[in-house]
Amino acid sequence: MRLLALDTCTEACSATVMVDDEVHSQYQIAPRRHSVIILPMIESLLAESGVSLKQLDAIAFGCGPGAFTGVRLGASVTQGIALGADLPVIPISTL
């Protein structure tokens, strides 16, 4: 399975790409900077893992609870990427 997962619900911004049993991940404590770092973080992880968006099976994201703006950012980035790459979306509770 090839999966992109991201979470922007808290002060930490994180993204992970899983390709079969190999996991590439980035995590950064960055209050109020998620919108600046999440897309470069995703791009970097995809390059590091050697897959493109079109090669993924799905995109997962932390859907809350969490900071209102962070939840909206995670959902919108996920939906935008998923729509462009024709991928299913998997919402994951942060509880």
pLDDT digits (tens, 9 = 90+) for 48-82: 999 999 999 999 999 999 989 999 999 999 999 99
How many angstroms separate the CA atoms of 25 and 4, rounded?
Answer: 10
- What pLDDT does residue 95 have? 86
In this prediction, residues 4-8 reach a mean pLDDT of 97
> What is the H or E stretch that residue 23 is in?
strand 22-29
Give the per-residue pLDDT at 23: 97
- What is the reported pTM? 0.93
Rounded mean pLDDT of 19-30? 96
Residue 94 has pLDDT above 90, yes or no: no
- Overall average pLDDT of the 88-92 stretch: 98
Which residues are CB-contacts of 42 (< 8 A; sequence separation ≥ 6)? 4, 6, 15, 77, 81
